[in-house]
Amino acid sequence: MRQLFIETRGRPGRLLEAGDKLYRQIVSSGSKVVNLLPELNIFEFETAKVEVKQRRRLTGLIGDSYKTEIIRSRGNARYFVEHLGNDITLEMVEIPAGSFIMGAPASEEGSRDSERPQHEVNIPSFFMGKYPVTQAQWKFVAALPQVNHVLKSDPSHFKGDNRPVEQVSWIDAVEFCDRISQYTGKNYRLPSEAEWEYACRAGTITPFHFGETITSELANYNAEYIYGAGQKGMYRQETTKVGSFGVANAFGLYDMHGNVREWCLDDWHNDYEDAPTDGSPFLIENDNTYQVSTTLRGGSWNYFPDNCRCAYRNGYDRRDYIFSNVGFRMVCGLGSMSLL
């Protein structure tokens, strides 16, 4: 089925299909249609929820004792595949439009004032990378013609084609998006913080999309520390191949908790006072973007579990900052037209 993705004011907008009245009006009017959406296919995936259960207390023991159980289920989502070349592909998952409460309540363990006030945000549909950008994808795009900035071909500390690229700055990530946009004719960019958190939560309101706690059986983080009623686990001390845990969230996205932190478009703000409610990035009026701190999301392989929560955010005052726990994933808005 033919589909059209409309952008309004540079932001992802409505996804139209050939049967929609507006789609028929656009096509029949002879308007120039830019970037018809590639064919969308459906993929299936496994999701997981970590349930905390209280063990029966034995006589003489002090305090509560808990155990966790992983409950697995199946889901499906629509996506398209970008064929870059050299058998390298990029899978982009459709994130449905919706609204959510952004941020964390004061009662959430490990939460910070920077995650408040909680506020409702309305998110238009968009597409997001199924995984963080990999080193194989990075190497291909780094070899494409430069747009504004030179890219190193192999910047990562932990080597592996299917591991996430890291040791890339915000400036590098933006250049990567610009190059792949130029190469494909589509609009690739970094996500806004609101888009990132909405996509991470995937309809949940718990600290993690897994539930009230997290386990190293499902994510790559410093599991020598526990969150809530969780348990200690493995601290791998390095990145892992993307998707290697075999479980996604309800939207079909992998590795949203841990592995590498992910750059976002937003300028850093100390809290959410006056934050946008339409999913757009929270920006500061400044003539020089590079003088303003920016934001990171998702936690990483060496982060404590409370710093891998859906709502966790931190800023960095240098956009050329690189570290072995920082990568990114892209979002895509397809098409751009003005409806008169």
Q: Write out pLDDT tens, residues 63-80.
A: 556 789 999 999 999 999
Q: For residues 297 and 212, what is the distance between their CA atoms, to the nearest angstrom?
A: 19
- The count of other CB atoms within 10 Å of the CB of residue 296 is 26
- In CATH terms, is domain 42-333 a member of 1.20.1740.10? no
CA distance linking residue 57 with residue 321, whole number of Å: 49
- Residue 27, pLDDT > 50, answer no
Q: Is the pLDDT of residue 176 over 90?
A: yes
Q: Please, which residues bridge with residue 12 across strands?
A: 7
How far is the first Cα of the chain from the last one, in angstroms, to the nearest whole number?
25
Q: What is the pLDDT of residues 216-225, one digit of tens each?
A: 999 999 999 9
> What is the pTM assigned to this prediction?
0.87
How distant, in Å, are the alpha carbons of 80, 84, 334 from that of 183?
16, 9, 14
Q: How much is the mean pLDDT over the chain?
A: 89
> Would you say 309 and 110 are in contact if contact means Cβ atoms under 8 Å apart?
yes
The Cα–Cα gap between 138 and 76 comes to 27
Q: What is the pLDDT of residue 333?
A: 84
Domain definitions of the chain by residue range: 42-333
The Cα 333–Cα 189 span in angstroms is 8
Q: How far apart are CA 278 and CA 281, in angstroms?
A: 9
What's the pLDDT at 67? Answer: 86
CA atoms of 306 and 310, how far apart (whole Å): 9
The number of angstroms, rounded, from the C-alpha of 129 to the middle of its chain's C-alpha atoms is 7
Place of tokens 């806004």: 192
